[in-house]
């Protein structure tokens, strides 16, 4: 497993610790494959689906978000990244599907963040009926800042992994191009040697009888 995959999994675990209402993960999407994820959402609870293709092919996937009544409330075709916020009109299980069925050989890595509802308050803060003390307010602010830092770190890891993969692909193409150029030069050189040797080879126009 590559090191940036380890960072992705660590980020997903930290996201689960700090925010119980968020599903954040990175998954592999093989060629000609389709992956679906299910989330139970209550009516009128604001939710956000965010995704980004990290590696593979043209960095694009097909995405659909389906309501419990089979209505398609969001669809994107061959998209690299996007974020969609919606407020469900009915309660039930919503299905988010990522498709790579249009690709015949490109294996892809996709990041997904499915946030449901507002962030849960810190333990104990919701139990007070009076105004929060200054220390409690500071703790809440620190908690919010930590979540923001996690989001920034996740997006920076995504960009770093995507840039590294592009650089590796470019390096591989340059290497193969150099190999092909070297072979072409060798073949041309050998061909020229044979042609020049043929020019200076003495031929007897009168064969012996």
Q: Two tokens at 10?
A: 């660590």
The C-alpha angle with vertex 207 and arms to 197 and 194, in degrees rounded to 5, equals 10
Q: What is d(CA 162, CA 169) in angstroms, rounded to the nearest whole number?
A: 11
- pLDDT at res. 193: 84
What pLDDT is attached to residue 26?
86
At residue 204, the pLDDT reads: 60
User: What local confidence, expressed as pLDDT, does residue 132 receive?
Assistant: 58
pLDDT < 70 positions in the chain = 1-22, 118-133, 136, 140, 143, 202-209
Distance CA 97, CA 47 (A): 16
Counted residue by residue, the chain has a size of 209
> In this predicted structure, what is the pLDDT of residue 8?
43
pLDDT tens column, 176-209: 898 898 999 999 888 888 887 777 776 665 555 5
Reported as type and span, the H/E element at residue 113 is strand 108-116
Mean pLDDT estimate for the chain = 78
Domain range list for the chain: 3-121+136-166
Say what the pLDDT of residue 123 is.
Answer: 58
The CATH fold of domain 3-121+136-166: Jelly Rolls (2.60.120)
* Predicted model pTM: 0.58
Report the pLDDT value the prediction gives residue 15, as an integer from 0 to 100: 42
* Strand order across the 22-29 sheet: 22-29, 108-116, 47-55, 81-86
Query: Can you give the pLDDT at residue 3?
Result: 43
């Amino acid at each position: 497993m590559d090191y940036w995959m380890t960072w992705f999994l660590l980020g997903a675990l930290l996201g689960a610790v700090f925010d119980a209402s968020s599903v954040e993960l990175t998954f592999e999407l093989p060629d000609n494959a389709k992956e679906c994820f299910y989330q139970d959402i209550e009516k009128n609870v604001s939710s956000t689906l965010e995704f980004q293709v990290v590696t593979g092919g043209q960095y694009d996937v097909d995405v659909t978000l389906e309501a419990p009544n089979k209505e398609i409330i969001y669809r994107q075709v061959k998209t690299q990244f996007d974020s969609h916020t919606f407020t469900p009109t009915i309660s039930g299980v919503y299905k988010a599907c990522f498709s790579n069925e249009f690709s015949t050989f490109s294996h892809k890595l996709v990041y997904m963040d499915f946030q449901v509802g507002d962030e849960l308050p810190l333990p104990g803060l919701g139990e007070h009926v009076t105004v929060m003390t200054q220390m409690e307010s500071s703790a809440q602010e620190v908690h919010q800042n930590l979540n923001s830092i996690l989001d920034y770190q996740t997006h920076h890891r995504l960009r770093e992994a995507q840039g590294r993969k592009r650089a590796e692909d470019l390096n591989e193409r340059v290497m193969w191009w150099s190999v092909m150029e070297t072979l072409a030069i060798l073949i041309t050189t050998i061909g020229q040697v044979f042609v020049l040797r043929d020019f200076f080879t003495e031929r007897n126009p009168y064969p012996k009888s």
